[in-house]
């Protein structure tokens, strides 16, 4: 299928969110898990009433021996098989992958408790073996309930965290006004394909990504890009599906639907980020693996030791306690809950995290290399001066020829030239064989003559003659100067000025405050680049660069021991974005080449880089806190469960271990949900 409907995307996303990984590929459906918990809880109630807790009978408990023991054993068996099934399935997957971890530990814990309890019932009521410690059905039942509840809470938390993605999908309307042979027909948006002509009326949601072909309006893109203002749109402007049209009615050509649309890309990016394993998640898996072997070793050693100094009942009780304590439930929740929360916050603020490892590298950064045009400056060039260098051409001839060559280009310099030509009502000339020259400019034929638009750096490399003094004056004023060349001669120039984004100064100040050195990389001339750098307070500037030069500079900083974040527009900067430790593509989100970046900022706002750094640091801090808590309590409680304090009369009971574990799970979940985006 070439075009997937947004309904399908939502359905797939919900299916992914409703299916929870229960251990290396073993999935548990949300509804089934909820049902298992409630059924298990119902089975637990009579067990609590009839079975002793920690060997003691509570005032509300009843017993009618030996039948109460048999009934508890039957209910415990049903609970063990039914409620424990998710953990056995998870353990099977882990063992099949030769990576025993949390599910295996849980399965071991409840299995040992069950076998011990059945043995206790038979010994007490059938064999009449005395003395004998009572069964652990009370602990077994409550442990299964706690584990099922913990996973249910986890899945609810993850689904709540992912609701921001579902809300994005809900932005699209159900139908669109499609123009067919001049008539307007309402069709389902799933039927739209690229190239369709659609009418969007005042106040309606835009049904798909597209380009305006007639009409003018203002569009509220707040829910998509985070911009809390109306954005004016004219013919040839791009609009994003899901944004809300203002008072005008316009027609557009569909450019992105289904899986190709912007919202679908957002959903896919978030989904990929939630599914991908970060280095800290891998660490959590490794810790769980180590914990399995450690717990198994300690349990065996403790069992043998207490069998020698005590009896079988005591040895089994202590072994059960060790395995219950070692169940790494909190460790399993430690990272995923933070990731789910962080990803949802990022998506809601227009921060699309493609590679979650990038967030963990933020604390290592010491250089931020960034493009100038479109990143630090607005990219809204205005022609400040244009002149001819040859007697046979007038100044307007130069502007007309350059505008003709730039027809159809969306580059900021091209837009500035085309705008100036339109303002002077210049008639453009047809161009053939028009193509970009990487790192140089562009070329095309007009009336049989090949023309090129190039930079001063190209003229210097090719040793072409031009007025250097004029260039120094224009560039020194902060202008970008483009030259028109034909037959090896410079025919004229166009000088354009750009405006620095107001947020850029704050970005540079914040980078310096975080001990990250800002470095400007630009293909523009050194004089123009220096003007911008001086205004922003950037001391390291590299100008007149080709795309491959930027990537080499990133590599050079890395080779010198630096950790580099590259910020660019995601197109010309693609090589350097891919080379950097963290590649940040800043742009509209629809035009940017996201495949080369680790992070995509939907808005063209430098302050979003600051937001990303803040969110990344807080996310990493929460991950570390949860990781230490999830694994740290085992370091203390496993030795206690094994009986290291037995000489002073303290032995940790299995139920106490289950309670401690459940509390750690709640703490991990609460800590994850307190994550906020703060600067």
How far does Cα 8 stand from its chain's mean position? 21
Question: Residue 422: how many CB atoms within 10 A of its CB?
Answer: 11
Q: What is the mean pLDDT of each run of 10 residues along the chain (679 residues)?
A: 41 45 47 84 89 58 73 93 90 85 78 82 73 64 78 59 52 85 88 92 89 89 55 84 86 82 63 54 69 87 90 79 72 75 82 81 93 81 92 94 87 87 93 79 91 92 93 89 94 92 92 96 86 92 84 91 85 75 71 64 83 92 86 82 84 65 78 82
3-state secondary structure string, 649-675?
CCCCCHHHHHHHHHHHHHHHHHHHHCC
Among 371, 498, 581, 598, the active-site one is 371
Which structural domains are found in the chain, ordered by start? 6-161+277-342+622-673 (no CATH), 170-268 (2.70.150.10), 351-375+502-602 (3.40.50.1000), 382-497 (3.40.1110.10)
What pLDDT, on a 0 to 100 scale, did the predictor assign at position 223?
Answer: 54
Q: State the Cα–Cα distance between residues 554 and 145, nearest whole angstrom.
A: 53
Question: Residue 283: how many CB atoms within 10 A of its CB?
Answer: 15
Residues comprising the chain, all counted: 679
How far does Cα 649 stand from its chain's mean position? 50
What pLDDT, on a 0 to 100 scale, did the predictor assign at position 27?
Answer: 45
Cβ-in-10-Å burial (0-12, 13-18, 19+) of 613 comes to: buried
Q: Based on the residue annotation, tell me whether 186 is a catalytic residue of this protein.
A: no
Cβ-in-10-Å burial (0-12, 13-18, 19+) of 20 comes to: buried
What pLDDT, on a 0 to 100 scale, did the predictor assign at position 67?
Answer: 79
Q: State the Cα–Cα distance between residues 292 and 296, nearest whole angstrom.
A: 6
63-92 as b/e, with b when 16 or more CB fall inside 10 Å? eeeeebbeebbebbeebbeebbebbbbbbb
């Amino acid at each position: 299928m070439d075009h997937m409907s947004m309904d399908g995307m939502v359905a797939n996303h919900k299916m992914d969110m409703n299916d929870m990984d229960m251990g290396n590929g073993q999935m548990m459906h949300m509804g089934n898990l909820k049902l298992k918990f409630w059924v298990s809880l119902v089975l637990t109630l009579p067990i609590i009433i009839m079975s002793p807790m920690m060997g003691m009978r509570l005032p509300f408990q009843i017993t009618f021996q030996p039948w109460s023991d048999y009934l508890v054993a039957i209910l415990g068996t049903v609970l063990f098989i039914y409620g424990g099934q998710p953990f056995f399935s998870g353990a099977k997957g882990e063992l099949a992958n030769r990576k025993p971890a949390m599910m295996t530990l849980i399965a071991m814990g409840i299995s040992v408790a069950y076998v011990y309890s059945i043995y206790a019932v038979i010994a007490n009521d059938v064999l009449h073996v005395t003395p004998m410690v009572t069964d652990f059905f009370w602990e077994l039942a409550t442990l299964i309930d706690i584990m099922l509840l913990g996973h249910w809470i986890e899945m609810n938390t993850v689904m709540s965290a992912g609701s921001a993605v579902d809300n994005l999908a809900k932005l699209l309307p159900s139908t669109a006004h499609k123009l067919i042979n001049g008539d307007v027909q309402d069709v389902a948006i799933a039927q739209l394909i690229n190239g369709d002509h659609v009418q969007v009326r005042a106040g309606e949601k835009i049904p798909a990504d597209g380009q305006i072909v007639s009409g003018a309006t203002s569009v509220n893109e707040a829910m998509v890009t985070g911009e809390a203002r109306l954005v004016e749109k004219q013919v040839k402007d791009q609009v994003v599906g899901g944004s809300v049209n203002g008072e005008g009615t316009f027609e557009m050509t569909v450019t992105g639907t289904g899986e190709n649309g912007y919202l679908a890309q957002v959903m896919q990016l978030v989904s990929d980020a939630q599914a991908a394993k970060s280095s800290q998640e891998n660490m959590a898996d490794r810790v769980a693996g180590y914990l399995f072997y450690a717990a198994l070793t300690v349990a065996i050693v403790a069992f043998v030791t207490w069998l020698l100094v005590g009896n079988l009942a005591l040895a089994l009780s202590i072994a059960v306690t060790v395995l219950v304590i070692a169940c790494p439930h909190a460790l399993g929740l430690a990272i995923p809950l933070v990731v789910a929360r962080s990803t949802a916050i990022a998506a809601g603020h227009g921060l699309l995290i493609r590679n979650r490892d990038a967030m963990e590298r933020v604390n290592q950064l010491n250089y931020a290399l960034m493009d100038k045009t479109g990143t630090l400056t607005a990219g809204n060039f205005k022609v400040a001066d244009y002149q001819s260098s040859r007697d046979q051409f007038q100044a307007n001839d130069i502007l007309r020829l350059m505008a003709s060559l730039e027809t159809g280009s969306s580059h900021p310099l091209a837009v500035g030239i085309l705008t100036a030509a339109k303002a002077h009502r210049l008639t453009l000339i047809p161009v053939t064989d028009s193509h970009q020259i990487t790192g140089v400019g562009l070329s095309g034929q007009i009336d049989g003559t090949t023309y090129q638009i190039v930079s001063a750096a190209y003229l210097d490399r090719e040793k072409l003659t031009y007025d250097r003094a004029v260039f120094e004056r224009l560039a020194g004023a902060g202008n970008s100067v483009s030259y028109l060349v034909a037959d090896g001669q410079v025919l004229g120039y166009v000088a354009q000025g750009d405006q620095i984004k107001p947020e850029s100064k704050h970005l540079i100040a914040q980078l310096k405050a975080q001990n990250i050195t800002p470095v400007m990389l630009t293909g523009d001339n050194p004089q123009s680049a220096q003007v911008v750098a001086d205004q922003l307070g950037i001391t390291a500037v590299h100008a007149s660069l080709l795309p491959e030069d930027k990537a080499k500079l990133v590599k050079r900083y890395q080779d010198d021991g630096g950790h580099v974040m590259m910020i660019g527009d995601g197109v010309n900067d693609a090589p350097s974005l891919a080379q950097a430790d963290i590649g940040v593509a800043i742009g509209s989100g629809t035009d940017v080449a996201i495949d080369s970046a680790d992070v995509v900022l939907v808005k063209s706002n430098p302050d979003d880089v600051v937001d990303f750094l803040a969110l990344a640091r807080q996310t990493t801090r929460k991950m570390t806190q949860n990781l230490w808590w999830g694994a740290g309590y085992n370091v203390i409680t496993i030795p206690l469960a094994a009986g290291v304090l037995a000489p002073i009369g303290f032995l940790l009971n299995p139920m106490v271990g289950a309670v401690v574990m459940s509390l750690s799970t709640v703490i991990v979940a609460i800590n994850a949900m307190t994550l906020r985006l703060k600067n």
